[in-house]
A and B are shown apart, each in its own frame.
Chain A
Amino acid sequence: MARLTINGAPRDIEVDPDTPLLWVIREQIGLTGTKYGCGVAACGACTVHIDGVATRSCVLPVSAVEPDQQITTIEGLSPDSSHPVQQAWLALDVPQCGYCQAGMIMAAAGLLMQNPNPTDEDINAEITNICRCGTYNRVRAAIKLAANSGEAVQRG
């Protein structure tokens, strides 16, 4: 039995303690917006926030997460896609296939919480998620648009 706080709600789950958080989120909790891409923390498709910090969940055993730590998934970033990063993504029509985009959005939102006005170099260093369709330039533009939107991004 493990207790997790996901998108603000406590959840008690029966799970093998070494199960990666990603698979608990996808298979036990049933939130499938967080994606499996590599299983070795190399691609970032599984990015969630833990206490506001963008974290790759595919190699993190669920037993390493404390019950009171706040886990935020893409479904919990905002109730209505109104987070400034989601709004910027919509304005620039960023996604192509979209599979990596939840991870991208969570990584971007995490970056902006730590660094509200990232430079190109900051974005290069912090956004290392893989997109195979080729949305990088629009991801970059959307991060800057969100940073300039004037809205506080200290959420999620």
Chain B
Amino acid sequence: MNAIISISRRSFIVGVATTAGGLSLGFNLPFIKAALAEGAETAPEINAWVVIRPDDTVVIRIARSEMGQGTLTGLAQLVAEELNCDWSKVTTEYPSPAQNLARDRVWGNFSTGGSRGIRESHEYVRIGGAVAREMLIAAAAAEWGVPASECTARMGMVTHPASDRATFYGQLAAAAARMTPPANVTLKDPKDWTIAGKPLPRLDTADKLNGSQVYGVDLKLPNMLNAAIRACPYFGGKVESFDAAAVASMPGVRTVVQVDETAVAVVADTWWRAKTALDALPVVWDEGPNRQVTSASIAAMLEEGLGANDAFIGAEQGDAGAALSAADRTVTATYAFPYQNHATMEPMNATALYTPERCEVWVPTQNGEASLAAAAEAAGLPVQQCEVHKIHLGGGFGRRGNFQDYVRQSVSIARQVPGAPVKLVWSREEDMLHGAYHPTTRCRLTGALDADGNLTALHMRISGQSILAAVRPEGMQNGMDPVVFQGLVLNGTEGTLGYTVDNLLVDHAMRNPPIPPGFWRGVNLNQNALYVECFMDELAHAAGVDPLAFRRKLMANHPKHLAVLEAVAERIGWDTPPAAGIHRGLAQIMGFGSYVAAAAEVSVTDGQLRILRIVAATDPGHVVNPAQVERQVEGSFVYGLSACIYGECTVNGGRMEQENFDSYEVVRMADMPAVETIILPSGGFWGGVGEPTIAVAAPAVLNAIFAATGKRIRTLPLKNHDLA
């Protein structure tokens, strides 16, 4: 199906003059590689998305951030597909957040989270490519004095077959930039794609093989200072006092500053010297109101919520309460999911340069516009006097989007050494102690089975922490956090429950411990899938029915959910018995607009778990780069299995106990199973890829562990359980 798209003139402000104005902002500092590519500002901008240089290099502007997920390459493929350019000539650049602001947000949303990088922007970036193509054709037609309809564009060249003329895009770019953009363009049917939809190599690999990729921590600016920071380790605590004089004469130290109410920092010539002095700095903390908070007290708080009368309703069908009361047979189980840290490999960092007139920040960020807003606020300057330079991220996973604490800190420090750029880098310990943690919730599930083993009623009571209440209260709906119900709702396109249960109630007793929560890759889908998919396995066993057959009976109205589940079951050989000592488990869920499923094969010998094989299936509607989808699916098991096997941040005395990878273990090579990925794009919708599969990792493995041991693990992580 081809879509005729009407273009708002306003959203395509074109022209060389605008470009030049948009780019000539402020300081003439040496730009980092990820910022605007050298020379682009002198080459004609066809429109906001496409710059073509005289040598035919095509510079595609990418608004979303690259943090490993491959969006940079995928978005470039979508633009290039419509542009009909030569893929081998494609390069990319980030427009800056201030440019976006100055140009009426011509590049749309910069936020890179919620697996939205492709699915939320595919249409307007393709339009951008198609419009540029039509302008190139129009420029050639005008030059040749022929109708544009007689010209075609292909492989970076416009041809007029009737007169046997052809010219490269690079020669047309200046004239094309002056053309009026077409009012309508027709986007290609994905089945005709030759660049998009293909498993092309990433555009950003080469620099990652030889140390030349610049991350935020690697930034070098003239006269740059380095800062190490320590914030109060007790949640809700503050700095009471510190003795700057005690470290002022240590090597390299320039100054010791209070960053805000909660943190102090040492500024030195090198980061190591800043850190060394910080370690020696006497600090007295006001430990705040939460010193009595422990993991046990939080668990008790959540446990109370499991039986509380008041709860927000996320999904309701029939009368679950009445049906459960009247049932001959019910099954009940309680599950729990602990706090997790994002633990990006690159610790939080930002570099800021402040003068009374201007503030500039260089930062690996999932949301450049949020970084800009944070910089302006911290600088006390109008946003027009601030700029943010985006840098490739050494991992994001949700930590670097909504939360711009490191930006505010870096600007606060820079204000105290005006005129000198200051690079703030957190230690790993700081990163572990000041996360935006995956929230903790518990869930009590009660199901009713009839005499034939059919599920006739289900109540899921979730108790625990709301992310939105803490970090995005404007997203709350009459006190309810709708995101709590990811994957469990009855309607919508984001994540619906894949089962029809005549009497269903999913509700949430909000219990918010004083621990800062955040969006952790997969967000609430992680625990919701664990709860519903492990409990489905429990119900199937209680009913004496095969777990796949049990689910099938509930999934007749959910063909897309069922299709991915059937796909993994078939590939793993569900209908044939596994080899001796090998046991299987299944799980499926919908989230971030996509349908995903996993099947796991495990062995448990003398209590020792080995995850031998994972089969995963994904239906994201459309696929822009199947090779990148495979990588995201594989990576999802590293993230999901890290949480399943090891991940747990425990609270004691009002602070986190884990401070580094020696106590916050994650999946490494030896733990990593083989992963087979099945991509089943059914078309007609655009789903996300980076997150949903994480959610099925743990339940598939836990269900396989039950098959192996008869042990039902209902609290993560596995390291706390004896499987023998």
Assess whether B637 is in contact with A134, with CB atoms less than 8 Å apart.
Answer: yes
B390 on the A face (CB < 8 A): no
Known: A33-B210, A90-B206, A130-B666. A100 touches B345 (CB 8 A): yes
Q: A89-B205, A132-B639 are in contact. List 18 more A-B contacts (CB 8 A).
A: A23-B270, A27-B226, A30-B220, A35-B217, A37-B346, A37-B661, A42-B660, A75-B211, A99-B345, A100-B345, A123-B669, A130-B668, A131-B638, A132-B395, A134-B631, A137-B672, A138-B631, A138-B634
Assess whether B68 is in contact with A97, with CB atoms less than 8 Å apart.
Answer: yes
A101 on the B face (CB < 8 A): yes
**12 sampled A-B residue pairs with Cβ under 8 A:** A37-B346, A39-B660, A40-B662, A74-B210, A75-B210, A78-B210, A86-B210, A93-B627, A136-B638, A136-B667, A136-B672, A137-B675
Interface size on A, residues (CB 8 A): 58
From residue 84 to 105 of chain A, which have CB atoms closer than 8 A to chain B? 86, 89-90, 93-102, 105
Instruction: State A50–B662 Cα separation when bound (angstroms).
Output: 24
A67 on the B face (CB < 8 A): no
What is the CB-to-nearest-CB distance from B277 to chain A, in angstroms, rounded to a whole number?
11
| Residues of A that sit less than 8 Å from B by CB | 16, 19-20, 23, 26-28, 30-40, 42-43, 45, 73-75, 77-78, 81, 86, 89-90, 93-102, 105, 123-125, 127-140
Chain A residues positioned under 8 Å from B70 (CB to CB) = 96
B272 on the A face (CB < 8 A): yes
From residue 643 to 676 of chain B, which have CB atoms closer than 8 A to chain A? 660-662, 666-670, 672, 674-675
**Binary contact track B341-373/A, C-beta < 8 Å → 1, others 0:** 001111100000000000000000000000000
B393 on the A face (CB < 8 A): yes
Q: Which residue of A lies closest to B427 (CB)?
A: A39
Interface of A is mostly: loop
Instruction: State A27–B423 Cα separation when bound (angstroms).
Output: 12
B209 on the A face (CB < 8 A): yes
Chain A residues positioned under 8 Å from B427 (CB to CB) = 39
Chain A residues positioned under 8 Å from B669 (CB to CB) = 123-124, 127-129, 136, 139-140
Instruction: State A123–B634 Cα separation when bound (angstroms).
Output: 18
B486 on the A face (CB < 8 A): no
What is the CB-to-nearest-CB distance from B484 to chain A, in angstroms, rounded to a whole number?
25
The contact of B251 among A16, A38, A125, A138, by CB within 8 Å, is: A16
The contact of B344 among A77, A81, A132, A138, by CB within 8 Å, is: A132
Assess whether A134 is in contact with B635, with CB atoms less than 8 Å apart.
Answer: yes
Assess whether A37 is in contact with B345, with CB atoms less than 8 Å apart.
Answer: yes
What is the CB-to-nearest-CB distance from B76 to chain A, in angstroms, rounded to a whole number?
15
Chain B's interface size range is 35 or more
Assess whether B392 is in contact with A97, with CB atoms less than 8 Å apart.
Answer: yes
Known: A39-B427, A90-B205, A134-B639. A27 touches B346 (CB 8 A): no
8 closest pairs, A vs B, by CB? A33-B211, A134-B635, A97-B68, A99-B394, A98-B208, A134-B638, A96-B68, A32-B218
Known: A42-B660, A99-B215, A130-B345. A27 touches B272 (CB 8 A): yes
Assess whether B346 is in contact with A35, with CB atoms less than 8 Å apart.
Answer: yes
Q: Which residue of A lies closest to B636 (CB)?
A: A134
Chain B residues positioned under 8 Å from A129 (CB to CB) = 668-669
What is the CB-to-nearest-CB distance from B670 to chain A, in angstroms, rounded to a whole number?
4
B204 on the A face (CB < 8 A): yes
Chain B residues positioned under 8 Å from A124 (CB to CB) = 669-670
Assess whether B346 is in contact with A99, with CB atoms less than 8 Å apart.
Answer: yes
Assess whether A40 is in contact with B661, with CB atoms less than 8 Å apart.
Answer: yes
Interface of B is mostly: loop
Instruction: State A70–B68 Cα separation when bound (angstroms).
Output: 32
Assess whether A37 is in contact with B428, with CB atoms less than 8 Å apart.
Answer: yes
Chain B residues positioned under 8 Å from A73 (CB to CB) = 211
B292 on the A face (CB < 8 A): no
Instruction: State A78–B206 Cα separation when bound (angstroms).
Output: 13
What is the CB-to-nearest-CB distance from B99 to chain A, in angstroms, rounded to a whole number?
25
Find the residue from A20, A78, A132 having the highest chain B CB count within 10 A: A132
Assess whether A133 is in contact with B660, with CB atoms less than 8 Å apart.
Answer: no
Assess whether B635 is in contact with A96, with CB atoms less than 8 Å apart.
Answer: yes
Chain A residues positioned under 8 Å from B251 (CB to CB) = 16
Assess whether B661 is in contact with A130, with CB atoms less than 8 Å apart.
Answer: yes
Chain B residues positioned under 8 Å from A34 (CB to CB) = 211
What is the CB-to-nearest-CB distance from A13 to chain B, in angstroms, rounded to a whole number?
11
Chain A residues positioned under 8 Å from B273 (CB to CB) = 16
B7 on the A face (CB < 8 A): no
B485 on the A face (CB < 8 A): no
Assess whether A132 is in contact with B209, with CB atoms less than 8 Å apart.
Answer: no
B201 on the A face (CB < 8 A): yes
Instruction: State A125–B68 Cα separation when bound (angstroms).
Output: 26
What is the CB-to-nearest-CB distance from B112 to chain A, in angstroms, rounded to a whole number?
12
Instruction: State A28–B428 Cα separation when bound (angstroms).
Output: 21
Q: Which residue of A lies closest to B670 (CB)?
A: A124
Instruction: State A97–B342 Cα separation when bound (angstroms).
Output: 14
Assess whether B208 is in contact with A40, with CB atoms less than 8 Å apart.
Answer: no
Instruction: State A156–B271 Cα separation when bound (angstroms).
Output: 28
Instruction: State A81–B68 Cα separation when bound (angstroms).
Output: 20
Instruction: State A22–B570 Cα separation when bound (angstroms).
Output: 49
What is the CB-to-nearest-CB distance from B275 to chain A, in angstroms, rounded to a whole number?
9
**Binary contact track B200-234/A, C-beta < 8 Å → 1, others 0:** 01101111111111110110100000100000000
Chain B residues positioned under 8 Å from A138 (CB to CB) = 631, 634
Q: Which residue of B lies closest to A140 (CB)?
A: B669
Instruction: State A129–B209 Cα separation when bound (angstroms).
Output: 16
B414 on the A face (CB < 8 A): no
Chain B residues positioned under 8 Å from A19 (CB to CB) = 272
Q: Which residue of A lies closest to B346 (CB)?
A: A99
What is the CB-to-nearest-CB distance from A105 to chain B, in angstroms, rounded to a whole number?
7
Chain A residues positioned under 8 Å from B218 (CB to CB) = 26, 32
Chain A residues positioned under 8 Å from B627 (CB to CB) = 93
Assess whether B201 is in contact with A81, with CB atoms less than 8 Å apart.
Answer: no
Instruction: State A89–B444 Cα separation when bound (angstroms).
Output: 46
Chain B residues positioned under 8 Å from A43 (CB to CB) = 345, 661
